[in-house]
Amino acid sequence: MWFLGIDIGTTHLKTVGVTDEGTVLPAGRVRTPTVSHSGLTFHDAEEVWARTSELVARYAATTARPHGSLAGVCVASFGQEEAVPVDARGQALYPSLAWWQKPARTALAPDTAELLDSYEHYRATGMRHRPAQTPERTAQLRATRPELWRSTALWADFGSFAVHRMTGHWTSAAAQLTHSQCFDLATLEPLSDIMRRLDVTPSMFPEPLHVGAVAGALRPDALPGVPLAGEVPVVTGGHDQVVAAHGVHRAGGARVLDSIGTSEYLMVASDVYAPERRSWELGIDHSRSWAADGYLLGHATPTGKLVQLLADLFYDGDFDALFVALATQPPGPDSGLHVDLAGPDASDEGLLSISGLAPGLRAADLVRHALDRVADRTRTVLDEMCAQAGIRPDAVALTGSLWRREEMAAHRQARWGIPLDVCSVPEPVAESAARIARDAVLPDPAGTPPLNHPAESKEVGPQ
């Protein structure tokens, strides 16, 4: 028998199987479908689920077929920031605006936005207000599609939607639920004042569950053509970043992690929730972790988008040329060069500003100076996060495609001056989800399932 991890991402839908012996099967993937309206990109929950179920069926009939019947499923997905309105029959009413897109105008009342971004609200929810979150999205729907809002019975993230399609139950990982800014992070109790302002009720949100909790049994007709090993549990995974961090933690015990995709997301596991004003000023997120009584501090920097922008501006989009220059050309004097970085929600056009340009300045100098600024900013945030968690940043586990570039990891090592371990698990989200499903059926007394291959890693030594 085998166990399935599903990763519903904004770019790809992915599947990974893990056998009962712990063997990791090759991944399956397809592009995440999108739809366009008025020049904007959306994700349609019905279409995403249709493509996901087709991918699972193909995976079961090919890659996983020699390993027998499916014995457990776990779903991870992109953040609750992308959620969809669902009617009383469980049908999605309207697609979700892709997280990197912005509506033409703000719909949320200014006083409500100010309250959501206040330190007082941050102390309850652990997050500052951002335009892509549930408050603005529900306000947009009320303003532009009032008839759909009147028919909305539930506000569900994409992982919750998939779990409902498989089990008939509406559940959500606690870390997803609290990203709505409508719940107290520590108690998971609804924040009644905010909900009244947003015209939502507690019943419009799925039941919160912790990572690893069983959401329900897989319905026999939910995944047509997939052989099932009796009653198959569908297990809570939740936010893809949390699920991936769980996988890295279980492989090596890391409590400080740095994942780079489009954004660079720093994460520090903590046993306490005590948001401070300095954390609010820096925009440090707090969420529930993979442990029922644990928390995860997080901070996003648009590093991936910045590297892409620098490659486009100075190297005709050639990443190899950019990284060769970063590694081989010694830094020249900045001669007053100054680079300012924007926040995580900036558009591609507003990611950075450059001043103090001097004759003879090379593209490599601009790239190095910009990446120096990124490294210095993230180190400041990392130190703050570790101090709040009560730990020392003695080592950082790195995941994501950009960290597989030796030049990028070496630059960060030189700037940070602490050990960095590059973890090269090909699909950390889907694989970790599959292991979570396996744990629910075959728990290991030591708390860690047997691994046929430990997470491959390499240490980036001092430069």
Q: What is the pLDDT of residues 309-348, one digit of tens each?
A: 899 989 999 999 999 999 987 776 656 667 777 665 555 5
**pLDDT value for 233:** 98
Q: What is the mean pLDDT of the chain?
A: 90
Euclidean distance between CA atoms 134 and 197, whole angstroms: 12
**pLDDT value for 269:** 95
The conformation of residue 23, written as its DSSP 8-state character, comes to: P
Q: What is the pLDDT of residues 150-199, one digit of tens each?
A: 999 999 999 999 999 999 999 999 999 999 999 999 999 999 999 999 99
pTM over 0.85: yes
**pLDDT value for 350:** 62
pLDDT, average across residues 233-240: 96
**pLDDT value for 450:** 36
Q: Which conformational region is residue 294 in: left (phi greater than 0), alpha (psi within -120 to 50 degrees), or beta?
A: beta
229 within 8 A of 71, measured Cβ to Cβ: yes
pLDDT, average across residues 364-380: 90
**pLDDT value for 401:** 83
The conformation of residue 218, written as its DSSP 8-state character, comes to: P
pLDDT, average across residues 24-29: 97
**SS in 3 state form for 133-201?**
CHHHHHHHHHHHCHHHHHCCCEEEEHHHHHHHHHHCCCEEEHHHHHCCCCECCCCCCECHHHHHHHCCC
Euclidean distance between CA atoms 83 and 135, whole angstroms: 11
Q: What angle do CA 35, 38, 42 make, to 5 degrees?
A: 30
**pLDDT value for 100:** 82
Enter the tokens of residue 299: 């901070």
246 within 8 A of 255, measured Cβ to Cβ: no
**pLDDT value for 335:** 61
Q: What are the angstrom distances between the C-alpha of 423 and each of 21, 324, 397?
A: 22, 22, 7
Euclidean distance between CA atoms 282 and 120, whole angstroms: 15
b/e for 335-354, b at 16 or more Cβ within 10 A? Answer: eebebebbebbeeeeebbee
Task: Work out the pLDDT band at 463, boundaries 50, 70, 90.
Answer: very low
389 within 8 A of 269, measured Cβ to Cβ: yes
User: Strand, helix or coil at 26?
Assistant: coil
User: Which range scores top for mean pLDDT: 230-234, 360-364, 442-446?
Assistant: 230-234
Q: Is the pLDDT of residue 455 over 60?
A: no
**pLDDT value for 337:** 66
Q: What is the pLDDT of residues 377-407, one digit of tens each?
A: 999 999 999 999 999 988 999 988 889 899 9
pLDDT, average across residues 123-129: 95
Enter the tokens of residue 113: 């936005």
User: Which residues, in sequence order, are CB contacts of 267 under 8 Å at separation 6+?
Assistant: 241, 245, 256, 257, 258, 259, 296, 297, 298
Task: Work out the pLDDT band at 297, boundaries 50, 70, 90.
Answer: very high
What percentage of residues in the chain have a pLDDT greater than 90?
75
pLDDT, average across residues 21-42: 94
User: Which range scores top for mean pLDDT: 19-33, 344-358, 417-431?
Assistant: 19-33
